Amino acid sequence: MFSHILTDTGDQRFVIQVHGGAWAIPETLKLPHAEGVRRAYQAALDNLNNGKDPMRAVIAALKVMEDDPVFDAGTGSFLNEDGQVELDAAVMEGKDLKAGAVASVGRFKNPCEIALAVMERTDHVLLIGAGAERFALAEGFKPVDPKSLVHPREYEGYEAWVKAGRPDSRIFFGEEGKTGTAGSRAEHSKRGTVGAVIGARSGAGFDLYSGISTGGTRGKKAGRVGDAPLVGCGLYADNEGAAVCCTGWGEAFIRMAAAKSVSDLVGRGAHPQEAVETVLRNLHRRTKGRGGIIAVGRDGRTGAAFTTPDMAYAGPSCEQLIL
Ligand code: ASP
């Protein structure tokens, strides 16, 4: 399921790609997903057209999807094994490899903004849990009642997950031969991480930016950190490679250092489409994991592919890989 949007903004000043998770999206949820990623894309484009810094455009796209309970990020996220929301988010800039991330935060509506603050206002890259929340409060972010981040549907989903014997997250993304079927259409698997990559023209090339936000996987262990906030795993941005954003079974993406792998392939001359397909194939061959990846290279060329039944996507072009 895709929203194909031509990124011809007249003089090709910007390239934008947005995803809203790779999984088996039920028919009834296809339209809300398509609308959600389109709104996120538009928010990024509006910010760029208004002269905002491209990193702010990434944040604008992420916030649209964090606030849309259709997606597994911010409001509407999956609950962990204790029935609580724990959010991960990260941002990265390709020019000087600056990055910021937070993991396991439960009291803030838009963790992507806290990740940006970590990048801009600290000399660290990743803050977690209580320390991340203390930093957010000190920076003036308003805490919310954690319950306000929970969509009623997630309480039901949590109950169903408990009744189903607390299956582990591998079945959501189809680790064949272990716990489930490839690209499982199980009820548990609904919703996905959100991400955005942007190329903004700068001289002969494009400056690269990426951002990601997620509630992780349903029933994850308390304290589990997925690939999303780990630089090089769920996201990467390098002006000498690519801006990359991943979604899928996070543990597999961590083990493959997937986002950095894509960026390195592009840096060595691969087309971003070839790079995302190569890494997704390797990820499946080596770990049986599935998911999706979006990327944009220094020359503004894009790559986007997924190995699940669907991926919510807005951008110029996206391919389903049949493995
Ligand atoms: N990669 C995310 C995680 O494992 C989940 C997703 O992309 O849907 O936390």
- Structure confidence by residue, pLDDT tens digits, 266-292: 999 999 999 999 999 999 999 999 999
Number of domains observed in the structure of the chain: 1
pLDDT level of residue 145 (50, 70, 90 thresholds): very high
Nearest residue by C-alpha to atom 4 in ligand 1: 250
d(CA 136, CA 213): 16
Residue-wise DSSP of 122-178:
SS-SEEEHHHHHHHHHHTTPPP--GGGG--HHHHHHHHHHHHTT---THHHHT-BTT
Residue 254 included in any domain: yes
pLDDT in tens, 37-88: 999 999 999 999 999 999 999 999 999 999 999 999 999 899 999 999 999 9
Q: How far is the CA of 310 from the centre of ligand 1 (A)?
A: 14
Q: Is 72 in the pocket of ligand 1 (CB under 6 A)?
A: yes
235 secondary structure, DSSP code: E
Domain that holds residue 275: 14-320
Domain containing residue 265: CATH number: 3.60.20.30
Region label for 186, one of left (φ > 0), alpha (ψ between -120 and 50) or beta (otherwise): beta
pLDDT level of residue 2 (50, 70, 90 thresholds): low
pLDDT in tens, 240-264: 999 999 999 999 999 999 999 999 9
Instruction: Say which range, 5-9, 74-78, 133-137, has the weakest mean pLDDT.
Output: 5-9
48 secondary structure, DSSP code: H
Q: What residues act catalytically?
A: 193
Q: Is 20 in the pocket of ligand 1 (CB under 6 A)?
A: no
Q: Average of pLDDT values for 157-167? A: 86
Q: Is 77 in the pocket of ligand 1 (CB under 6 A)?
A: no
pLDDT level of residue 3 (50, 70, 90 thresholds): low
pLDDT level of residue 154 (50, 70, 90 thresholds): confident
Residue 4 included in any domain: no
pLDDT level of residue 184 (50, 70, 90 thresholds): very low
The token pair at 222 is 């308390």
Residue 133 included in any domain: yes
pLDDT level of residue 156 (50, 70, 90 thresholds): confident
d(CA 180, CA 106): 30
Residue 8 included in any domain: no
Residue 108 included in any domain: yes
Query: Ligand 1, closest atom to CA 248?
Result: 7
Residue 294 included in any domain: yes
pLDDT at 200: 97
322 secondary structure, DSSP code: P
Residue 7 included in any domain: no
316 secondary structure, DSSP code: S
Residue 114 included in any domain: yes
d(CA 47, CA 62): 12
User: Under 8 Å CB-to-CB from 20, ≥6 apart: which residues?
Assistant: 33, 36, 37, 40, 65, 70, 71, 192, 194, 311, 312, 313
Q: Average of pLDDT values for 5-14? A: 63
* Closest-CA residue to 107 (of 152, 56, 150): 150
d(CA 320, CA 292): 9
Residue 178 pLDDT exceeds 70: no
Residue of 23, 249, 290 to test ligand 1 pocket, by largest number of atoms within 8 Å of CB: 249
Beta-sheet pairing, 3-4 with 310-315: parallel
Query: Ligand 1, closest atom to CA 291?
Result: 7
pLDDT at 13: 92
The token pair at 52 is 């905002």
Residue 122 pLDDT exceeds 70: yes
Mean pLDDT of the chain: 90
Q: Is 21 in the pocket of ligand 1 (CB under 6 A)?
A: yes
Instruction: Say which range, 17-21, 57-61, 186-190, 214-218, has the weakest mean pLDDT.
Output: 186-190
